[in-house]
Amino acid sequence: MEMFDQVNEVLEKLRPFLLRDGGDVELVDVEDGIVKLRLMGACGSCPSSTITLKAGIERALLEEVAGVVEVEQVF
């Protein structure tokens, strides 16, 4: 399975938690182990979005997808 598909699978598991808070996440690209995500809805403007991205989403991806080295937010 490609890394892009593996990342998408993990994001699908996390999506209900983001949707519950009025937000969502879009996978933009995966390049050289760097996952590029766009936070949408309430997550896009939330002051805690960086924490959500780094502590929540990045941690899950690092644990579950081999080869992921970092998560970057794109706008």
CATH number at residue 51: 3.30.300.130
- Model confidence pLDDT, tens digit, residues 11-60: 999 999 999 989 999 999 999 999 999 999 988 887 888 888 888 999 99
pLDDT band for 66, please (50, 70, 90 cuts). Answer: very high
Residue-range definition of the domain harbouring residue 65: 3-73
Mention every residue, 6+ apart, whose C-beta is less than 8 A from residue 46: 21, 23, 39, 52
The pLDDT of residue 1 is above 80: no
Quote the pLDDT of residue 55: 86
Q: The whole model's pTM is what?
A: 0.90
Which residue from 56, 45, 46, 50 is spatially nearest to 16, judged by alpha carbons?
56
What total of structural domains would you count in the chain?
1
